[in-house]
Every structure is written in structure tokens, then in C-alpha cells.
Structure 1
Amino acid sequence: MSDEPGHDRQISRATTLLADWGAARRFNVQGRVNVSRTDADYGYDEDWTYAEFQPDYQAFDNYLRNVSRESIELRWLSNEEGRIANSDWLLGLYYQNSQVDLLREYTYASVFNSQYDTASRALFTHITTALGDNLRLTSGLRIEHWASDYADSKNLAGDNDENLFGGKLAIEYTASKNALWYASITRGYKAGGFNGGDDLPSESLRNFDTEFQINYELGGKFIALSGSLRNRISAFYTDRKDLQLKSSSVIYSAAGNPSWIDYTDNAGAGISYGLEWELQLQFTESLNILGSFGWLETEITEHNQLRPAAFNLMGREGAHAPEYTYAVSAQYKPAERLNAQLEFEGRDAFFYSDSHNYRASDTHRINLRLRYQTGAYEVQVYANNVTDEDYGVRGFSGWDADPRSGDGFDEQSYQQLGAPRVLGLTVRLDF
């Protein structure tokens, strides 16, 4: 039994300001300002026990974080008079700034603090051009300057400063009033960064590069049965370069004591492809069927590791990428103010992380809803996970942290389960 129970506390404050005005005859202007502040306090009893049980090892680890974020976005959107050569256009500017201050207090180390600042400035545009009555071309471009800076109390410092480019090109063909086809190619990115800590396996791991991906998609939207059946289906293929993966290694101190080190590294390359299908069927006037289905294949095709003993993922699936997912629900409305819903949802097994091979098992759950609404009042009774299934949402595989196991470091797995059966009542009043 722990003599110093852990805690996870957070206070957040956020403000958003939205504006939309007709600034000129040919275009409108939209603006959005976000400001947020978060104070987080997370700590845990590292030894999991009390002093009498294990007097030689008593440790507590605590992390205090202060997070400040501000962002501004402005958009100029053409109206009917502002169209250029059969094209609707959008021009935007984006600014974002964040600062994360960390204070760590650990029993067997001096107080540690760090500061991580990021800034993003971007120009983006989106143009939709009519190529005919049934054909439309959409193009988009984003140019971003990304900068980050890191410094800590151990005199480690690093920065990243780069220009990033993303874009999209898509074409849509309206075959009839009940069928639309589209194809697109998109280039995206995830900015590079910096690994803190003075115990990395190699100083060459201090910085990691930007990840790029190109996504190809083909799909369509279809209406049948006099409008009672609506379908959306798509197929996609994604090519990823310089994947950013969570990696880990074991290092040993001069006294021979092992430590588990986590860091972000560029793996090399990877691919993913799959299908998505959504449908809505108005079976009768009072019965509506909804469904969504997904099939996904992923593979890390290259994993370049500097250390031969490090964990290698080449040929493995990506983390949190179940091969299939589904959700099917039936909504029945026996009376004007009464609505009942039965839902089935599930997913395949998947790997929890890119730093170990622990997997979540497949899961299948049932949810129920009964809602009554009159005027400004709404009452809802619900039951989630009706059959009380155990299913994992997070998992870790590493050393055995149970002191009763002795001094060994045998591999042990830990899993956080999702919510059990939950019965509830919600009452809402709109005024």
C-alpha cells in the first residue's frame, strides 16, 4: 500500500473571440483569437509501497507544468462579386505561440526545470474552380514558418527553425444529382523538435526531423432508394517519410544500475492504406439506421536505429491502428417527443505503443439511449457498455515495478481499462 498516493490535478482557463464582418463589397473577413492558460500538477509514489515494507527505496516523483498558448487566425473569403475566373477563393493568416514551463521534484535528484517555446506563422490559401457544370477543381497551399526553443537547468539547450510547405489538389465530378466522385492528393507535415534530458543513448538523438506524408484518396457520395439510403465510401493510401516514433533504450549508470530512457526519433518510412464506409438508411418514418466501418493496414517499412540493441519496428504495424472498426446504431422514434437508440461498436486488436509490443485485445460493446424532449427540457437515460466488457485503452510494457518480485527486471505489462458499465441520467434546460 502506498504511503504517498499520487495525484493528477489541472486548472485551465480559456477565452475565444470570434468575429465575422463584411469588410468590403467583394469579400468577407473572419477572425478568431484563442488564449489559454493551464496549471497541471502530476505526481506519483514511485516505489508503490510504505517505508516499513521497503525502507531502502522510498521515492516520489512530481511534475508541475504551466502552459500558455495564444493564437490568431484571419481569413478573407470571396463572395459572389469577388469570384475570379469562376473561382471562389480564401486567403488566410495564422499565428500561434506557446510556452511550457516544467518543474520536476524527485527524491533522488536535484530540482529540475525547463522551458519549451514554440511559434508558428503561416500563410494559406484555398481556391475552388468550376471547370464545367459537373466538374470542380480544388487547390490549397500552406506556407509555415516554425520555430522552437528549449532550455533547462542542466544547461541543455536546442532550437529548431524551418519553413514548411503543405498542400492539396482535389477534383470532384458530379455524375448525377445522386452521385458524386472525387480524387485528391494531399501533402502534410509534422514539425521537428528536440529531446531533453542528459541521459540520451547518443547526442545524435538530441534533435528529430520533420515528418512528411503524402495521402492519396479516391471516393464518392451516393444517394439511393428515393433518398432513403445515403452512402459515403473512400479508399486511401498514405506514404510517410521520416516518421516520428516514440523510441526507448536501456542505459546503465557507472554503478551498473539500469534506466529506461524514452525519446522521439525518426524511424525512416512507413505506409498505411484502407477503406472507410458510412451509411444512413431511413428504414421507416420512425426507424433510422446509421453505420460506419473502417479497414486499415499500416506498416513501418524502415526503422533506422543507431544502436543495434534498440527496439526495432521494421515490418510491424503502427501504434493505435486497429485493422477494423465499426459502429452501427438504430434510432427509433415511437412518438413525437420520444427517441430510443441502440448502438453496437467495436474494434480489432492493436499495438499500444511504438516502444514495445504490448497489444490491446479486440473489443465489442453495446450502448443504449432513451431521450424525451419537450419545449426547453430534455431528459436522457443512458447505459454505456451494457455487458460490462473489459477493454484496454492504454498500455505499457517494461520492467516489473512490484518490489515483491525482488531485484530482477523481468518484463511486465500494465494496462489501463476503459470505462465499465455506466448508467446515467441527464437533464438539460435551454434558456
Structure 2
Amino acid sequence: MDVNRNDGSIKSFNQELRLANDARSSFRWVVGANYEHSRVREDDEVNYADSTSSYVNTQVIGQDYDQAGYNNRQRLKNYAVFGNVEYDISDQLTLKGGIRYTEAKRSSVNKTFDLGDGSISSLFTTVINTYRQIFDFGGPIPLVPLGDSVSLNSQTGLPGTFRDKLNENSTSWMLGVNYKATPTLLLYANVSKGYKAGSFPGVSAGTFAQYAAVTQESLVDYEAGFKTTLFDRKVTLNGGVFYYDYKNKQLRAKIVDPFFNALDGLVNVPKSRVKGAELELSARVVEGLTVSAAATYIDAKVRHYQGIVGSVANEVGLFDPIRGDFSGARLPFSPKWQSSLSADYSLPLGGVNLTMGTTISSQSKSLGVLAITNADKDLYEVNGRTLVSARLGVEAPDGRWAVFGWGRNIFNKYYWTNTIQTYDTVVRYAGRPAEYGLTVRFKFQ
């Protein structure tokens, strides 16, 4: 069995300061500032020995390869100031608003290197010298030393360690209205704009192009819904609809390298959208028994993106990308349907409360990558599943202590959580199998 060493850590510090007025006032406000500083370290080993691409390289250029090492060091800093207000125009109508300004700073240092047998250094030296010859960068370079980065900088025709920075700023905002139509019915509508900061990918890379950052994505969120209680507050019913308008959404996708063909990277999808609806119901059926149900429908699609669908060898034998129209393609990891059904029962018994419950959760199939051909949709499908969990225990009437056993995925359903392609292999990540445990909880007063 091939065993690779993969190690990493994230160290994060954040602090937030808030100032607010009396929450009982008809005009409520809060202002504040936020700071975050994180450091990311990743040290991985990548094994190619069982990949047919290693065999192909042996036959074509006389070089095979075994293992590569990969180091990733990133530093992230976020600075933000914000303010929010709420104003009760009447007992029924409340207006809301907020604004946030953020500065995000990112830096990345990445390298891919030979772990010690010389095969990676030899292979990449051959590739880089071929590149230098084709694009007239001068004479050949000597063998890349073990431990030095082999990733090709196409601008210089030399291997090196990738170093780059990304500094961005954004202004997010929110406007909303709450209307209490009756003492038990709340109607609401909100529109907001938010951002996700740009980032650098964590990948083992043959060229600097794979290390390139994606810029920040933006989202305008429109939502409206209701919250109500019925039958003397024994039933709670919530529902809503939403529409997300994305620009430059960040997704993992393929880029084409002239020598190595399709490789992983991060891309910005210019336009995409998500629309859907959700419904939640909770009911106290009888004394001690609560039944809850929830369902969500999502339609998530690309509106505009010209992405990689393949490659073709050009006149000098290098790979050129073939692009296709991904408009209408489903966004990855967005099942159309998600639902849950749970029941919880509590029964006083001999000075304690006996509690038991079960939850059934399900979701329909989705895709692990952007795909527009039927073959790719079948290959990268993340199958739908229905999972069942259960719990049984006792707790003190005042909730100070509790002991309960639990089981997750108790019928040991086999399912996938992700599917990706690594070189010539499609990898499916299995979900967690059946799990059982015991939890003891005690609250100190």
C-alpha cells in the first residue's frame, strides 16, 4: 500500500469590538470593527507510481516519476468596520440596514519539489529545457537540485518558488423590512450584497499558472418569507424564497498546461445564480413529543462561462485548450432537493427524563465538478442518499446533566461526498459509515 504523508496547520487570531445602544429603543444601532490574522501551513506528498501518466512519460520522453513533495504557506489578514441600524416605525413595521467595509490581504508561497529519488527533478528539467528550446529562452538549465521547486515560470522559462500577493477591498450592505401582520405572523424581505475574498489554491503544480489566485466573488441576495405559530403556539411554520446573483464565483476547475495537459486550478465563473425555496415545520403533537420536518429546493446554474472541455496538440506538439460554453451547467455540490424529518420524545420516569429521538435526512444527487457532457455528468456524479440517526438517554429535569447513546448512519449507507479527477484517476470520497457513541454532559453552576 502506498502511504503519503500529508500534514498541515491553521493558526488564526481574530478580535471584534462592538458598541451598541439600548436594545429596547425604537431606534437600535451597533457599530464595530473586526480584525483577523491567519497563517496556513500545508506539507504534502503526492504519489504518481500507480498512474498511467507516469508510464506514458516513460514511453514518450524516457522519464518516469514516483513522488513529489508540496509546500504551501499562506498568510491572510482582514480588516473591517461595520454598522447596523433597526428602526421601529410602528409596533408592526421595522426597517433594517447595514454596511461593512473590508480590506483583505493575502500572500502565498508555494513550491513542488523532488522528495529524494531524483525522478521529479529529472523529469521537470527535461520538460523545462524543452520549453526553453521551443520558446527560445536560451540554453538548457542544469538538473534542478533536490528540494528546489520544479514548477515552471512560463514568463522566465525557469523553475522557481511561486510568491504572490493579493490585496482587495469591498463594501457590503443590507436593507430589509419586517412586518408583524398579526401577533403570530411575521413577514420579511431583505436584499443584501456580500463578498468572498479572493484566494490562492493549494495544489501541487507543474506551472505557476496553477498557483494563480482568483479574485473576490460578489453576491446579491434577494429573499422573502414568513414565520408563524399556529394552534396556540403548538405548531411553528417558516417558509421563504431566495435568489442569489453571483459574479466571479470561485470554483475548482481545469486549466490546460502545454506539457501536462489538464491540471487543477481555481477559476472565476463570471456569472451564475441560485434560486430556491425552503419550508420548515415543527409541531408538539402530544405532551413530550415534537415532530419536525424541513425541505429545501435549489436550482443552481451557470449563466455565463467559457471553460475547458478538452485539449488538442498544436503544430509543435504542445497542448492547447478547447473551450466550451458552460451556460446552464449545474453548479457543483448543489442537490436540487434536501429534506429532513425528526421526532423527539421526552418522558418523566423515576425522577429523570427519558429522551429518545430519530432523524432522517436525505438529499438528491449532485455533481462534484462543472460538467456539460453526459459522460462527465455520469463520471462526476455525487450520488443521492438517505441517512438515519437515532439517540436514547436520560437527563435531569433541570437539564444539568445528561447521558445518552447515539448512532449516526445506523443502516451503514454507502455514499459519496465528493468526486474529482487526479491525473488519470477519478477519485470518489466515501461518506462516514455507521457510527455509535456515548455522550455524558454536565453543566457546572
Q: TM-score, normalised by structure 1?
A: 0.75
Partners of 2:193 and 2:435 in 1: how far apart? 42
* Equivalent in the alignment of 1:61: none
**TM-aligned CA distance change 1:140 to 1:424, over 3 Å:** same
Q: CA contact under 8 A between 1:249 and 1:310: conserved in structure 2? A: no
Partners of 1:286 and 1:193 in 2: how far apart? 49
* Pairing 1:199-210 to 2, within 5 Å after superposition: 199-200=206-207, 206-210=212-216
Partners of 1:353 and 1:398 in 2: how far apart? 12
**TM-aligned CA distance change 1:109 to 1:186, over 3 Å:** same
Aligned residue among 126, 134, 144 for 2:84: 126
For structure 2, the 5+ residue unaligned runs are 47-64, 112-159, 309-319
Superposed CA offset, 1:33-89 (max 9, x none): xxxxxxxxx1xxxxxxxxxxxxxxxxxxxxx434332111100011169x5xx4100
SS in 1 for 2:286: coil
* Equivalent in the alignment of 2:232: 226
* Equivalent in the alignment of 2:195: 189
* Equivalent in the alignment of 1:346: 362
Shift of 1:198: 6.2
Partners of 1:149 and 1:417 in 2: how far apart? 33
Q: CA contact under 8 A between 1:158 and 1:194: conserved in structure 2? A: no
* Pairing 1:272-351 to 2, within 5 Å after superposition: 272-305=274-307, 308-309=321-322, 313-336=326-349, 337-351=353-367
Aligned residue among 402, 421, 426 for 1:378: 402
Shift of 1:324: 0.7
Q: CA contact under 8 A between 1:247 and 1:311: conserved in structure 2? A: no
Q: Which moved more, 1:183-192 or 1:361-370?
A: 361-370
Partners of 1:333 and 1:92 in 2: how far apart? 42
Shift of 1:423: 3.1
Tell me whether 1:366 sits opposite 2:388 in the alignment: yes
Q: CA contact under 8 A between 1:193 and 1:208: conserved in structure 2? A: yes
* Equivalent in the alignment of 1:77: 20
Q: Which moved more, 1:242-251 or 1:137-146?
A: 242-251
**TM-aligned CA distance change 1:283 to 1:127, over 3 Å:** same
Q: CA contact under 8 A between 1:221 and 1:232: conserved in structure 2? A: yes
Q: CA contact under 8 A between 1:201 and 1:251: conserved in structure 2? A: no
* Equivalent in the alignment of 1:211: 217
Partners of 1:282 and 1:305 in 2: how far apart? 51
Partners of 1:430 and 1:222 in 2: how far apart? 33
* Pairing 1:149-188 to 2, within 5 Å after superposition: 149-152=107-110, 154-188=160-194
Amino acid of the residue matched to residue 69 of structure 1?
S
**TM-aligned CA distance change 1:214 to 1:101, over 3 Å:** same
Tell me whether 1:397 sits opposite 2:421 in the alignment: yes
* Equivalent in the alignment of 1:93: 33
Q: CA contact under 8 A between 1:117 and 1:149: conserved in structure 2? A: yes
* Equivalent in the alignment of 1:416: 429
Q: Choose between structure 1 and 2: higher strand proportion.
A: 1
Shift of 1:103: 4.6
Partners of 1:426 and 1:192 in 2: how far apart? 40
**TM-aligned CA distance change 1:324 to 1:108, over 3 Å:** same
Partners of 2:13 and 2:42 in 1: how far apart? 18
Report sequence identity in percent: 21
**TM-aligned CA distance change 1:338 to 1:110, over 3 Å:** closer
Partners of 1:288 and 1:105 in 2: how far apart? 50
**TM-aligned CA distance change 1:399 to 1:305, over 3 Å:** closer
Partners of 1:326 and 1:195 in 2: how far apart? 32
Q: Choose between structure 1 and 2: higher helix proportion.
A: 2
Superposed CA offset, 1:283-325 (max 9, x none): 1112211111111110011113487425764321111111111
Partners of 1:383 and 1:97 in 2: how far apart? 38
Q: CA contact under 8 A between 1:66 and 1:100: conserved in structure 2? A: yes
* Pairing 1:22-171 to 2, within 5 Å after superposition: 42=6, 64-79=7-22, 86-103=26-43, 113-152=71-110, 154-171=160-177
**TM-aligned CA distance change 1:377 to 1:163, over 3 Å:** closer
Q: Which moved more, 1:117-126 or 1:369-378?
A: 369-378
Tell me whether 1:265 sits opposite 2:289 in the alignment: no
Q: CA contact under 8 A between 1:248 and 1:310: conserved in structure 2? A: no
Tell me whether 1:242 sits opposite 2:248 in the alignment: yes
For structure 1, the 5+ residue unaligned runs are 8-41, 43-63, 402-412
SS in 1 for 2:219: strand
**TM-aligned CA distance change 1:96 to 1:361, over 3 Å:** same
Q: CA contact under 8 A between 1:147 and 1:159: conserved in structure 2? A: yes
Shift of 1:339: 1.4
* Equivalent in the alignment of 1:19: none
Q: Which moved more, 1:99-108 or 1:388-397?
A: 99-108
Amino acid of the residue matched to residue 191 of structure 1?
A
Q: Which has the higher contact order (CA 8 A, sep 6+)?
A: 2
Partners of 1:392 and 1:114 in 2: how far apart? 27
Shift of 1:139: 0.3
Partners of 1:366 and 1:198 in 2: how far apart? 41
* Equivalent in the alignment of 2:3: 5
Partners of 2:439 and 2:432 in 1: how far apart? 18
**TM-aligned CA distance change 1:311 to 1:421, over 3 Å:** farther
Q: CA contact under 8 A between 1:249 and 1:311: conserved in structure 2? A: no
Q: CA contact under 8 A between 2:362 and 2:384: conserved in structure 1? A: yes
